[in-house]
Chain A
Amino acid sequence: MNVDETKKIVLIIEDEPPMLHILFDKLSESGFAVLQAKDGQEGLDTALAKHPDLILLDVLMPHMDGMTVLSKLREDDWGKNVPVILLTNVSPDGNDVIQSIVKTQPAYYFVKSDIKLESIVEKIHEVLSSAS
């Protein structure tokens, strides 16, 4: 996979193939260099290896859930500052989730069904521009 150096790299960690697919297509079309991972563990590994500019992270996934991935990332020197957008179908229910959100500081927490694909792109641009 060729990665254009000028392009920002976005890692998508998503276990649902159709979701991963459409996100990959949309972000690629939108001019990002897109990396993908099909579960939490793979995602964490990829992130730590490739140091993407931003991570789109699902929460409910096999092998390692998104919140765990994020916690681990935040333990890493590079990972603690990488912008992460949580993209999930789970409402942030329960104190545990909220506390970990407070602790791990994701840039956004979006419920997939409530957000347009276009808006995700916009938010990524917004986050990246504020981060640089």
Chain B
Amino acid sequence: MRKKLAQHVFRLSTIETISLNLALLAVYVLFGKLGLLFASVNPSATAIWAPTGIALGSLLLFGYRVTPAIYIGAFIVNLTTSGTIETSLAIALGNTLEGIVATFLINKFANGIRAFSSISNIFKFVFFSAVLGTAISATIGTSTLILGGYAVVANFQPIWFTWWLGDMGGAMIVAPLLLVWSQNFKIHFSFKKALYFSFSFLCLLFLTILVFSGIFPYVYFLMPFAIWVALTFEYRGATLSNFVVALIAIYFTLHGIGPFTRFRSTNDALLLLQMFLGVFSITSLAFAAVVSINKKNTQAIQSSDERFKALLENSFDAFVLIDATSRITYASPSVKNVLGYTPKELEGTIGFNLVIPEDRAFTVKELAKLVLKPGGTITIEYRVMRKDKQIIWTQATGTNLLLDPLVNAVVVNFRDITERKSQEEEIKKNEKRFRSLVEKSGQGIALLDKKGKIIYMTTTITELLGYTQEEYEKKGNSLMHPDDRKSVEKKSKEILNHPGASVSLQYRILHKNGTYRWFDVLVTNLLDDEALHAYVVNFRDITDIKNIEEEVREEKIEDEAMLNSIGEGVIATDKDGRIAIANHIACKLTGWTEKELIGQSLVKAVPMTDENGEKIAIKDRPLTKVLMRGKKTANSKSIYYTRKDGTKFPVQLTLTPIILEDEVVGTIEVFRDITEEKQIEKTKNEFVSLASHQLRTPLATINWYVEELLAAKKDLGTKNAHYLDQVYVASHRMVGLINALLNTSRLELGTFAVEPKDIDFVESISQVIKDLTGGVKEKQITLKKDYKKSLPISADPKLLGILIQNLLSNAVKYSKPKGTVTIKLSHNKDGYTFSVKDNGCGIPASQEDKIFSKLFRADNARSLDPDGSGLGLYIVKSILDAVGGKVWFESVENKGTTFFLSLPAAGMKQKKGERQLH
């Protein structure tokens, strides 16, 4: 109890207590004297006694420490009113006891100052304070007055009643006002609410005045307004309106106006008023209590509801409330994450619609079970279809709260477990696979006794061999392949007398279908094992493995046969260039055995030289380049491999990188000895050379004779002279063709020499122009010369002449009649650039890349000059390649072509060779 009091009783210092008492004393005396002003039945008994309320309120608020103020206050009021010190002391005692008893009872049974938190406490409050407490005061007070001789016994009843009702008014109107407003002093109305309060309060005020002023004397009209104020503004509204109504009512009643004043004395009227005010007060308090309690409850529910919602909405799970028919009454926002639907889309729908048809029946059944089990919980897993038609696995926990008044639903909490499910599925699948693997791998175990009789055998024997266990036992060892018997018997003996030893056997057993199956058998001697006393035989069918092994072996043989039947050397290397495979031919060509080659670095094991016999550095080896660049390559220049014995052979090779995931992991080199081809090529070229020489003699003869005839043109006649001209031109063309052929064969043999001399480039050009046969004059071509008078160069005069001649004759040949051929020559620190520009037919774009190849002639060139050799530009290019120059061109079809050739500043590189070009 102390504890309980301590909860709402302030701790005060002595001075504060005294000050409080003094203040209270003053208030008490003031209101006491005011009240007694209206005393009529007896000076000490008034119908309006506010101090009861003040006393009760302050006792409840401040505790019993204010007792002195109440007692002294009551004593002073009474003493100054009428009677002696004794009577005043007694009456004051009654007044004080009234408050103390009521306070005690209220604190104990009606939740003290929080009495207004429930309706029952309000009635307790009214009973303890307004009925019981006041009765004490009235009884003691009236008795004292009679005993003191201030009243007659006959008047006991009206005095007591007046006293009692007067105190009751104080208890019911003043005490609640003090209690309520002291605890809830702060007003934080909104403007709107303040306006509303003012309006309703003013309405009540106005009506009260109307009623009590007698203009409209129907008190019961006040009730709806009092209730309105109470409902709207609860205790504070109720207590305040009670107080104000009481003040107005008392004022008018005292003045003899109002509904209670007719036919009665002021005291009677006041008593009637007090009764009315009591009823009025308790009604409005009760309504305030209802609203307040309801509001509090609502708030409590709301806040816990909010918490609950927040919890669920923030949780990983989604949740729905469904009724017994699975209709969704509420869906948490997180359903959007799980199902793709918004809560609104789901609310009102049947929950089972989300479940995929295959799982619907069982979920319906589970829900039915749950519905029959109030408070029960189930957890099931099923699939639902999301809004996006994706099917997901969910795990749902349903709790039956249909009978819970707060919920009235089945709470279904669910989450997406698709990932987990798929993992499970994966595991299951693996397990299944594994099991089937074991089953299909055809393993089995048998236990044999000392004599080899089967004690136990797994049923797999039937699957493996087609026999029932009995059949197999009967046939026993007779099923073993005859070829395997000896070795099996021999090996089995090894473990006969060796407990713990085991032997591995492989042999064939006749299947019921007449074929032999290979078995891998492990026999362990566990005769000494206390639990087994047997040979343990683990067996498995390895026929398939045997077959595969056989296939692999055959394949390998095939591969080898293929590799070895290839007529070319094949060497495969790893990414470091070490030889991994070398076929028979590769060994034969290089002179090394396969064993010697494998594991060796190819570039070290097989040295490579160029045509001059100089060793090619490792960095320049095709293999190195392929490994670094990852591009297929074939040699274009002559290269030679060195055999084990040091001899060399010319080789044609193709190197292909093996690329795995963008990385070169190795190479395959295919190569062959081209000695013979080289010989054939040489013979061919020699033949061409010889044939060409022989052809020259008759041509030279024809030329010279024709020259002589032409020199005597006038004797021939115009027509004949013209014919002879044609003969001469054709003959010369033939000479040019033969020369080109000869040059080509020399270039290809690589035997031509380059012998630079200090010459004049310009002089060489002039020489070529002078020797130009045909074309320039006939076609009336203008030659534009764009160069200085002389330009020294170190060059082979013949080769330079061939270069200039080819470009110049081409330009003339392909120029249009009356065209212009521009010859340019320039020189700077980088070298010489010579160009010949024509305005002829040009080179078709599609054929530009072939223009320098042997025997190639552009389509339009062929139609212009069907007799061209197709060798000229090839020769130019070959010469320039050999002497360190370049040739290129710019061309627009039908507009013209410019050929450029460049030579290094140092001129032509010297090259030893057997032959010169013409």
Residues of A within 8 A of B (CB): 16, 18-19, 22-23, 25-26, 60, 89-95, 98, 111-114, 116-118
Contact = CB atoms under 8 A, between A and B. Distances in A.
Interface in B338-371: none
B739 A114 contact: yes
Contacts of B700: 19, 89, 112-113
A92 B704 contact: no
Interface of B: 689, 693-694, 696-697, 699-701, 703-705, 707-708, 711, 735, 738-739, 742, 746, 753, 914-916, 918
Given A16-B697, A18-B701, A19-B701, A92 B915 contact: yes
B735 A114 contact: yes
Interface core residue of B689, B697, B700, B753 (most chain A CB under 10 Å) = B700
A103 to B, nearest CB: 16
B708 A25 contact: yes
Given A93-B914, A113-B697, A113-B735, 17 more contacts: A22-B708, A23-B704, A25-B708, A26-B708, A60-B693, A89-B694, A89-B697, A91-B689, A93-B915, A94-B915, A95-B914, A98-B914, A98-B916, A113-B739, A114-B735, A117-B707, A118-B707
A114 B915 contact: no
State the main secondary structure of chain B at its contact with A: helix
Nearest to B755: A98
Contact of B918 (A111, A117, A118): A111
Contact of A111 (B696, B711, B746): B696
B916 A92 contact: yes
A91 B742 contact: yes
Contacts of A111: 696, 918
Nearest to A120: B704
Nearest to A109: B916
Nearest to A115: B700
B704 A90 contact: no
Given A114-B735, A114-B739, A90 B703 contact: no
B707 A116 contact: yes
Nearest to B738: A113
Contact of B689 (A18, A23, A93): A93
Contacts, number: 68
Contacts of B916: 91-93, 98
Interface core residue of A89, A94, A95, A113 (most chain B CB under 10 Å) = A113
A19 B694 CA distance: 14
A112 B705 CA distance: 12
A91 B705 contact: no
Q: Top 7 closest A-B pairs, CB basis?
A: A112-B700, A89-B696, A113-B700, A113-B696, A117-B704, A113-B735, A93-B915
Contacts of A116: 703-704, 707
Contact of B704 (A26, A60, A89, A95): A26
A64 to B, nearest CB: 18
A112 B707 contact: no
29 contacts: A19-B700, A22-B701, A22-B704, A22-B708, A23-B704, A25-B708, A89-B693, A89-B694, A89-B696, A89-B697, A91-B689, A91-B742, A91-B918, A92-B916, A93-B689, A93-B746, A93-B914, A93-B915, A98-B916, A111-B696, A112-B700, A113-B696, A113-B703, A113-B735, A113-B738, A114-B918, A116-B707, A117-B703, A117-B707
A117 B753 CA distance: 28
B809 to A, nearest CB: 14
B707 A94 contact: no
A60 B693 CA distance: 10
Contacts of A26: 704, 708
Given A22-B705, A91-B693, A118-B707, A113 B915 contact: no
Contacts of A113: 696-697, 699-700, 703, 735, 738-739
B702 to A, nearest CB: 9
Contacts of A98: 753, 914, 916
Nearest to A17: B701
B696 to A, nearest CB: 4
B697 A19 contact: yes
Nearest to A58: B697
A42 B916 CA distance: 30
Contact of B696 (A22, A92, A112): A112
B409 to A, nearest CB: 112
Contacts of A22: 701, 704-705, 708
A19 B696 CA distance: 12
A20 B704 CA distance: 11
A113 B742 CA distance: 13
A16 B705 CA distance: 14
Nearest to A116: B707
Contacts of A19: 697, 700-701, 704
Nearest to B734: A113
A95 B752 CA distance: 11
A23 B739 CA distance: 23
Nearest to A15: B697
Contacts of A91: 689, 693, 742, 915-916, 918
A70 B708 CA distance: 29
Contact of B697 (A25, A95, A112, A118): A112
Nearest to B917: A91
Contacts of B735: 113-114
Nearest to A93: B915
A92 B708 CA distance: 27
A69 B106 CA distance: 162
A89 B689 CA distance: 11
A90 B695 CA distance: 10
Contacts of B696: 89, 111-113
A108 B163 CA distance: 170
Nearest to A26: B708
A42 B779 CA distance: 48
Contacts of B703: 113, 116-117
Contacts of A92: 915-916
A114 B693 CA distance: 12
Contacts of A117: 703-704, 707-708
Contacts of B694: 89
A67 to B, nearest CB: 15
B783 to A, nearest CB: 21
Contacts of A114: 735, 739, 918
A94 to B, nearest CB: 5
Nearest to A87: B700
Nearest to B735: A113
Interface core residue of A26, A94, A95, A114 (most chain B CB under 10 Å) = A114
Contacts of A18: 701, 705
B914 A94 contact: yes
A116 B914 CA distance: 27
B733 to A, nearest CB: 12
A23 to B, nearest CB: 8
Nearest to A18: B701
Given A113-B700, A116-B703, A90 B708 contact: no
Contacts of A90: 693
A118 to B, nearest CB: 7
A25 B711 CA distance: 13
Contacts of A89: 693-694, 696-697, 700
Interface core residue of A91, A111, A112, A117 (most chain B CB under 10 Å) = A91
A117 B916 CA distance: 23
A118 B918 CA distance: 20
B422 to A, nearest CB: 83
A73 B572 CA distance: 63
A117 B702 CA distance: 11
Contacts of B689: 91, 93
B411 to A, nearest CB: 109
B296 to A, nearest CB: 126
A18 B914 CA distance: 31
B434 to A, nearest CB: 81
Contacts of B693: 60, 89-91
Contacts of A16: 697, 701
Contacts of B699: 113
